[in-house]
Amino acid sequence: MYPYGPFQPHQSAPQPGPTHVYYTRGPRFMCRGPSRLIWFGIGGITTYWFIQSRERKREMLMSQADDTQRAGHCHSAWGWGRWGDHRREMNEAQQKMEDHRRKVQEQFADFGNLSSDKLADMAESSLDSVMSSVVALRALSSEQHRKLLEFSTKGGSSPCLIYFAFTTTSTTLYWTMATLAHFKVPQIDNEPMHSYAPGSSQRAGLEAALAQMQKDLPFEVPCIINGKEVKTGRIAKQLMPHDHANHLCTYHEAGPAEVEEAIKGPKCPAAELASGKYRYQLMAATMLGQGKNAWQAEIDAAAELTDFLRFGVKFVEELYQQQPAKNSPGVWNRVEYRGLEGFVLAVSPFNFTAIGGNLSAAPALVGNVIVWKPSPAATYSNYIVHKIFTEAGVPPGVIQFVPVHQQMLFSRSAIAHPDFAALHFTGSTHVFKQLWKDIASNMDKYKGYPRIVGETGGKNFHSFTLLLMSIAWSNNLSARLSSTKAKSAPLCLVYTSRLLFGMVASRISYSMEIGKISVGPPTDPKNFVGPVIGKPAFEKITSYIQKAKDAGGEILIGGSGDSSKGYFVQPTVILTKDPKSVTMVEEIFGPVLTIYVYDDEEFDETCKLIDSTTTYALTGSIFSNDRAALIRATNLLRHAAGNMYYNEKCTGAVVGQQPFGGARASGTNDKAGSISIFYRFVSARSIKEGFAELGDFIYPSNLV
């Protein structure tokens, strides 16, 4: 028996489960429940047909069930019911449902034997007709939206839901969703079979369709490859077996080249292009344009960009699966996650090629259109990323690539537009705050309240406590300085206990072999540290080093720079006695590390100092061989970092493993590389669909 309508168990929400599932190598077919939920998937394309009965008899039974619940309930093993007047009717309805189920099983029993080609033909022809009918219903058509999700992962799923409602008198097409369609569909009934009896509306409709088709034949059918019609000129015919002198259609046969292109299509999304075809081109552009060495370019432009794209699709699928937990009898509840009404402005930084790709791709994956302004210092690598998106199938106009040198002038112009819907930003805290103010000043122009997502500055810290071996100090300091070039980022602070520092002080000159690290052009493999991003950065970094000297700081390593040919700054380590010195407080964004030594008994006070010294809260690390100290520091530094590490350097977050983002002046902490970021770029719509007649508006409490 099936828990639907009057047979709905009260103790849990309906859980749709497949009655039959057949898989072939390419397309797939699924029949669900006592009615039909048909699903075709071809190489990443997924289309749903939900064939829903609105039979009057079932609505009456639901209405009777409502009456039953009002009159008194009795719990049985199969749901709610009253062992009274309605028992016979409900048993008869149950038997009819069983009969329908058997008919559906018999009808679809041979679907598992259908060839992949046949199923592909069925799904492709349906997609073609459906997409043409819905293209005008949304700024992004279903076909475009399908490509958006398909481009990011091999075999990705389509966000296209097509809903067919067949009534007893007419057939109506409703295009209701543009989401991945992981709905908790209520248990459903079979579609009643039409009799096509003489004089019936079904007979009339069918005869009209046949007459029109015979009038219009033969039809021309092209190949459809990567969303484009391909007419090869190699014509074949589909004959009609009842009249083989005539043919239903001519079709353009695919040759070896077309077949090869079609096979490559689903296997060549953006992630595959970034990790394969364009890998070295991306890395070279990142090295030459942004000064990273080969390894840092690899983990950025190749690895992280690919991860953002692949995991992004997984996170979107998880997002669409978030559906209401409960469906009352005779009701289907679901949530549609729509793209925002307007455009998303993506403003990306110079220091990560991958971030530029993710700032634009993440909103696009959930149905938004993007205006992407790359950093002038990362224009070419970001241009290659955009080429990858285009080659992968992102429709024209979905991601607009607009390099502009005057960032604030352009951003303010975009923000002032009435269709501005969201800001996706990575850059300096100062610029982000200014853009936020500009958004606030334009609030009366917008259709809604814009979403603001930003990752900004940071002043990351490492804190050492208790008796770690001196080798740990040496190794970590090396790792610490190496990470200063990992992101060209503000990885600036080390807090160490006096006892630990004293133990290794005699070894500093030896352990500071890091001072001999080669600095130079990234094209030379021996150079570990490349240039800073430009003249303004060079002047800012060297000025902070001078300020530290003037304030009494001791330069342990480095301290110099050379801008004669390139903008090179030697890795610099400063020892300070003032925890509020300028290099302890302000963001530098260069290879400068400041050490502060605290008294061993002042561990708690030092944690509070770390928490209050800067306005940032991006990342931090605690190094200790005492688990209690780790937990203590974590609690005291609860809001000091968005990403916390134990006995690990505080950089190198991996997509899908450590969601990344900071709070306070470091950003909105929406966690790139996780499902959280996608919630910011969708507008949820809750839909409740009832299948029973509306009852009296009078409440039972009004009865006397």
Residue 702 located in a structural domain: no
Mean pLDDT of the chain: 70
Any idea of the CA torsion for 668, 673, 675, 678, to the nearest 10 degrees?
60
151 vs 226: CA distance, rounded Å: 11
**80, pLDDT greater than 50:** no
Q: How many CB atoms neighbour CB 217 within 10 A?
A: 14
> Residue 484 sits in a domain of what CATH number?
3.40.309.10
209 band by pLDDT with thresholds 50, 70 and 90: low
- 608 and 488 together in one domain: yes
Number of domains in the chain: 4
Best-predicted range by mean pLDDT (35-39, 94-98, 618-622): 618-622
**Range in 16-25, 273-282, 594-603, 619-628 with the lowest mean pLDDT:** 16-25
- Average pLDDT (49-78) is 36
pLDDT computed for residue 324 by the predictor: 92
- The percent of residues above 70 in pLDDT, for the chain, comes to 60
Confirm whether 106 is a catalytic residue.
no
Specify whether 608 is located in the same domain as 528.
yes
- Res 110: pLDDT: 45
Q: pLDDT value at position 53? A: 34
Q: In sequence order, which residues have a C-beta less than 8 Å from that of residue 364 and are 6 or more positions away?
A: 148, 370, 394, 398, 399
- Tell me, yes or no, whether 693 lies in a domain: no
Q: What is the pLDDT of residue 338?
A: 95
Would residue 429 count as lying in a domain?
A: yes
Tokens for 498, please give them: 């006096």
In a domain, 90, yes or no: yes
The mean per-residue pLDDT over the stretch 2-27 comes to 31
**CATH assignment of the domain containing 296:** 3.40.605.10
Q: Choose between 9 and 148: higher pLDDT.
A: 148
Look at the block and give the residue holding tokens 């149905």: 367
Q: Is 245 exposed, middle or buried (0-12, 13-18, 19+ CB in 10 A)?
A: exposed
More confident residue, 433 or 267: 433
Nearest Cα to 557, choosing from 542, 544, 575? Answer: 575
Q: Are residues 438 and 388 in the same domain?
A: yes
CA atoms within 13 A on the CB side of 187: 20
Catalytic residue among 492, 587, 607, 650: 492
Q: Are residues 278 and 234 in the same domain?
A: no
- Beta strand ranges found along 329-406 (DSSP E): 331-339, 343-347, 369-373, 399-401
Pair (445, 466) in one structural domain: no
**Domain boundary pick from 139, 161, 193:** 193
104 and 227 fall within a common domain: no
Dihedral sign (CA 411, 319, 176, 31): positive
Residue 550: the pLDDT is 94
Max mean pLDDT among 18-27, 493-502, 599-608, 679-688 falls in 679-688
551's tokens = 């304030």
Q: What is the pLDDT of residues 262-293, one digit of tens each?
A: 334 444 568 778 888 888 888 888 888 888 88
**Same domain assignment for residues 507 and 594:** yes
Question: What is the per-residue pLDDT for 335?
Answer: 95
Q: Report yes or no on 670 lying in a domain.
A: no
Instruction: Tell me, yes or no, whether 704 lies in a domain.
Output: no
Please indicate, yes or no, whether residues 170 and 233 belong to a single structural domain of this protein.
no
Asked whether residue 144 carries a pLDDT value surpassing 80, the answer given is: no
Closest by alpha carbon to 420, among 452, 395, 397, 398? 452
Q: b or e along 354-379 (b: 16 or more beta carbons within 10 Å of the residue's beta carbon)?
A: bbbbbbbbbbbbbbbbbbbbbbebbb
- Secondary structure (H, E, C), 239-291: EECCEEEEEEEEEECCCHHHHHHHHHHHHCCHHHHHHCCCHHHHHHHHHHHHC
| DSSP structural state of residue 190 | P
Element (H, E) at 496: strand 491-497
Residues 606 and 646 in one domain: yes
Is pLDDT at 599 greater than 60 in this prediction?
yes
Say if residue 682 is in the same domain as residue 619: no
**pLDDT at residue number 206:** 53
Q: Quick one: tokens of 87?
A: 């028992």
Phi, psi of 45 (to 5 degrees): -90, 130
72 and 52 together in one domain: yes
- Structural domain ending residue among the three candidates 250, 267, 284: 267
369-373 and 399-401: which strand pairing?
parallel
Q: Evaluate whether 145 touches 159 at the Cβ level (below 8 Å).
A: yes
pLDDT at 97: 61
591 vs 561: CA distance, rounded Å: 11
Cα–Cα nearest to 371, from 340, 392, 350, 393: 340
Domain that holds residue 261: 211-267
Identified catalytic residue from 124, 298, 336, 455 = 455
Does residue 47 form part of some domain?
yes
Among 384-398, 483-497, 513-527, top mean pLDDT goes to 384-398
Rounded to an integer, the average pLDDT of 306-322 is 88
124 among known catalytic residues: no
Both 551 and 410 in one domain: the answer is: no
Nearest in space to 319 (alpha carbons), one of 368, 365, 356 = 365
Region class of 86: left (phi > 0), else alpha (psi between -120 and 50), else beta: alpha
User: Given 160, 193, 226, which residue is the final one in a domain?
Assistant: 193
- Assess if residue 472 is contained within a domain: yes
Tokens of 424: 């996706």
**Which tokens hold the place of 196?**
């096509």
Query: Is it the case that residue 99 has pLDDT exceeding 80?
Result: no
pLDDT of residue 579 exceeding 90, the answer is yes
Residue type, 423: L
